[in-house]
A and B are shown apart, each in its own frame.
Chain A
Amino acid sequence: MFPQDMIQKLGTMFDALPALEKQILLYAGVAAAIGATIAVAVLVRYWLRRSLRPKVPPHVYVGIEKVVVYGIILVGVVAALSPFGIQLTGLLMVGGFASIVIGFAAQTVFANFFSGLLLYVERPFKIGDPIKVLNYVGRVEDISIVSTKIRTWDGVLVRIPNEKLMNSDISNYSKSVARRIDIPIGISYKSDIEKAREALRKILEEHPLVLVYPPPKVYVVDYSDSAIVLKLRCWVPTSMWFETYMELVAKVKATLDEAGIEIPFPQLDLHVKEPVAINLLSKEREALSDVST
């Protein structure tokens, strides 16, 4: 027997039933459908908890679980109630229209929400990472579904909407075990370059946090207007970057002073082609005549 024939036969049998029994059967069918819907929702929740919960942060998972489970129950219940004249299509139409209205009204909220989800998938940073984003530099303190909070190095808590974050350049300082330091320093044209390089190399060799590999370097980077510019380049453990940078910058001046290397300030030599008449003021003229006598 084909299913269609069977359904037709069952329909005929149902129509032949007395009104009361028909009613009882209808209620029983609706109850069974609602029960089945709840069972499906429970099974889906069980599956989500096993497969999705370990992969996403708890506060994100809670939202996803609620949307999925209550969505299944809502659709199932409305479908089960169709024999009583409640139509799923009508409800979906109303729901769809309401979604459009709410969507327009809460566009930013949804944009932030979905950006938050993408952040969880892409994971450009995690809580505790030192990052730079939108001119803010600090440590990530919290990542929620709509915003991310950064504690800047000067102690300010900045809340950045996830949509803004998603569209910005993010620098994550903790993604490497080591980070480079570059310190440019100008020495005078009278100075011995090799002596200066040697003195600066010694600073890098002596510092316990300047890494042996990749090897540190000191080299001439530019012959500028007032100075020969050398550059100290080295790698240090990322977590100690700032402390090491501060120490090296402080040591550079002291070391060059000790080695007798001059750090020049900007200066300009003026050469005059033609002799220039100089008019002395009366006081200066008197002073000059006093010196000559």
Chain B
Amino acid sequence: MLVSDELRVGLARVAKHVDRVLVEDPYVKEEFILATDAPINVEPVLPAHVPVRLAECVYLDLGTPIVISGTTSIWVTIPYELRVVAGERVLKVLTPFKVKHTVVGTPYEGVICRWFKSTVISNPNAWDGAEGLVKVVVRSPTPEVVKGIYARLSILKLYVREGRHLSVFYGTMKGPVRDNVMYVSNVEEQPPVEGLKEVHGLADHNVARYFHMEFMEGP
């Protein structure tokens, strides 16, 4: 999405003035001087960069558990991040939402996931929130209680519909339920609704805002 003057998506803000661009989210505020005519674009990317790249998966906490049986389809909200690009150069990755992480499994042998408090949406066509949407197809031969959805970031597909607002969708997720968690095992190839454009999921440069331990800091 082209930024002409100011764009606000959730808690993220990109403001372009004559020769400057200001990028802002709950964790960063930075200004760039534009010594180029390159257009400033904002594109959704997977929620994996802010504040630092360490999550391998996303865990959607449904808050209110859902009881399902057989094959059930639901629409839920899901986070994404925004890549701010000048021409082809990534300036920053912003988050429109507050960021939290969690461990799925044990702290010793589990996996670090991006955590998000998700809500179930009854009518995706009427949705005008900043969050992205994903259709989830849950399979279970017996009645099950689903409290969360776990998905590896590497298998997710991201789509965007640019209009007056930025609408972000993910490819339809499918998978079984185990221990009250739906584990996404595959994602449909085709977009969940018509008129969507697939976008590349990861930002192409290091946007870490923290120094890693390689920088001589440690426990």
Contacts and interface: CB of A to CB of B under 8 A. Distances in A.
Interface of A: 130, 132, 137-139, 153-155, 173, 175-180, 206, 208-214, 235, 237, 239-243
Interface stretch (B6-14, B31-39, B172-180, B207-215): B207-215
Shortest 9 CB-CB contacts between residues of A and residues of B: A208-B99, A178-B107, A212-B102, A153-B218, A176-B108, A213-B102, A212-B115, A243-B210, A242-B217
A212 B101 contact: yes
Interface string B101-136: 111110111111001000000000000000000000
B18 interface: no
Contacts of B193: none
B50 A239 contact: no
Contact of B216 (A132, A153, A210, A212): A153
Interface of B: 27, 50-52, 54, 61, 98-105, 107-112, 115, 210-214, 216-219
Nearest to B212: A239
Nearest to A171: B219
Contacts of A154: 216
A130 B109 CA distance: 17
Which of A138, A173, A211: most chain B CB closer than 10 A? A211
B101 A130 contact: no
Which of B101, B104, B112: most chain A CB closer than 10 A? B101
A210 B211 CA distance: 17
A242 B210 CA distance: 10
Given A208-B27, A213-B102, A137 B51 contact: no
Contacts of B107: 176-180, 214, 235
A10 B47 CA distance: 84
Contacts of A130: 213, 218-219
B101 A175 contact: no
Contacts of A237: 54, 101, 112
Nearest to B112: A237
B199 to A, nearest CB: 23
20 contacts: A137-B218, A139-B218, A178-B107, A178-B110, A208-B50, A208-B51, A208-B98, A208-B99, A209-B51, A209-B101, A210-B100, A211-B103, A212-B61, A212-B100, A212-B102, A213-B115, A239-B212, A242-B217, A243-B211, A243-B217
A261 B55 CA distance: 36
Contacts of A176: 107-109
Which of A173, A177, A179: most chain B CB closer than 10 A? A177
B209 to A, nearest CB: 10
B110 A242 contact: no
A139 B213 contact: yes
A175 B108 contact: yes
A239 B51 contact: no
Given A132-B219, A177-B110, A177-B111, A239 B54 contact: yes
Contacts of A180: 107
Contacts of A206: 98
B51 to A, nearest CB: 5
A153 B213 CA distance: 9
